[in-house]
Amino acid sequence: MAEYPSEVRIREVGPRDGFQNEPEVIPTAEKVRLIGMLADAGLKRIEVTSFVRADVIPQLSDGADVLAALERREGVSYSVLIPNERGLDNALEHRDRFDEISVFLSASETHNRKNVNRSIAESLEGLMSVLARARREGLRCEGVVATSFGCPYEGAVPRDRVLEIAERLREAGCAEVGFGDTTGMANPRQVSDFYAHARDRLEGVELTAHFHNTRGQGLANAVAALGEGVASFESSFGELGGCPVPPGSTGNVSSEDLVSMFHEMGVETGIDLEGLLAASRSVQEVLGRPLGAHLLTAGPIDWDGQG
């Protein structure tokens, strides 16, 4: 039987990864209020926005305004997604309002081209400079490798290619590397095998699991990663989000479903599940539609039989 970590760290990515996929722009004040609810629920790592071009992702065009309006909570690390050097330039104008950056690229040439119009080599070259500058600013850096477990255009993605990209990111100064199941193609056996190899090749780097629930396997994959000692996860409240390309790549694994499962397994998260559910119910009201998280319908397990 696997020996699971006794506690895990969860980065909430809904305010960025989730909101960017909504068809309508969410008011800045609502974003700030919801981020505050997430922090109050005990989430210590929150990705709040991205400094991308407004014409590409208009839903995040208020990134600077969100940062300015945040009431920063002690002990909470706020991160922003940085696509390129121009994005870093814009973000550094608000350097005192966030603590970490994430950079990203795909392990699939086709997906990377469709997502950022660059080859993998071109993306890596550009990110080297971004990471060097961010480290000089004292920012903690995470590198995210999308399509780590499969690509909807190319099919299987070679594990060695994914890990070689991760090694390059480590060499450039990433303290953390996240592996994204960007369109929900991973399965638990594959995840176990992948993280066993990643653990051996990426010593000294925080390994993070980012699963999507597109095909209903997000939680099973999280357990598989946990069984290989992974103690860092990314998720999205309400199961918001998905990949902009291709269509149909629905949500990230739900934060409340993930937290509930970990708590039932005796794995600590430091997160108040009821507070997290309150944030998800609130974002449902903002969006005016039901979300996919199972706990929003079923509720947490009540072992005392109180309802």
303's CB contacts (< 8 A; 6+ apart) are none
E strand spans, the chain: 9-12, 45-50, 77-81, 100-106, 140-146, 176-181, 206-211, 232-235
In DSSP terms, 232 is beta-bridged to 9, 208
Q: What is the mean pLDDT of the chain?
A: 94
Domains of the chain: 13-298 (3.20.20.70)
The tokens describing 55, both together, are: 């014409």
In the predicted model, what is the mean pLDDT of residues 164-175? 97
Neighbours of 54 (CB within 10 A): 11
Is the model's pLDDT at 129 over the cut of 50? yes
DSSP string, 214-268: TTS-HHHHHHHHHHTT--EEEEBGGG----SSSTT--PBPBHHHHHHHHHHTT-B
Q: Catalytic: which of 141, 151, 174, 243?
A: 243
Q: 243 catalytic, yes or no?
A: yes
pLDDT digits (tens, 9 = 90+) for 68-123: 999 999 999 999 999 999 999 999 999 999 999 999 999 999 999 998 999 999 99
Answer whether the bond into residue 5 is a cis peptide, omega within 30°.
no
pLDDT tier, 2 (very low <50, low <70, confident <90, very high otherwise): confident
Burial group, residue 90, by CB count within 10 angstroms (0-12, 13-18, 19+):
middle
pTM of the model: 0.95
Instruction: Answer with the residue of higher pLDDT: 30 or 302.
Output: 30
Is the model's pLDDT at 307 over the cut of 60? no
In the predicted model, what is the mean pLDDT of residues 45-52? 96
Proportion of the chain above pLDDT 70, given as a percent: 96
Among 304, 279, 303, 305, CA closest to 293: 279
pLDDT digits (tens, 9 = 90+) for 237-295: 999 987 665 665 668 999 999 999 999 999 999 999 999 999 999 999 999 999 999 99
Proportion of the chain above pLDDT 90, given as a percent: 89
pLDDT digits (tens, 9 = 90+) for 5-39: 999 999 999 999 999 988 888 999 999 999 999 99
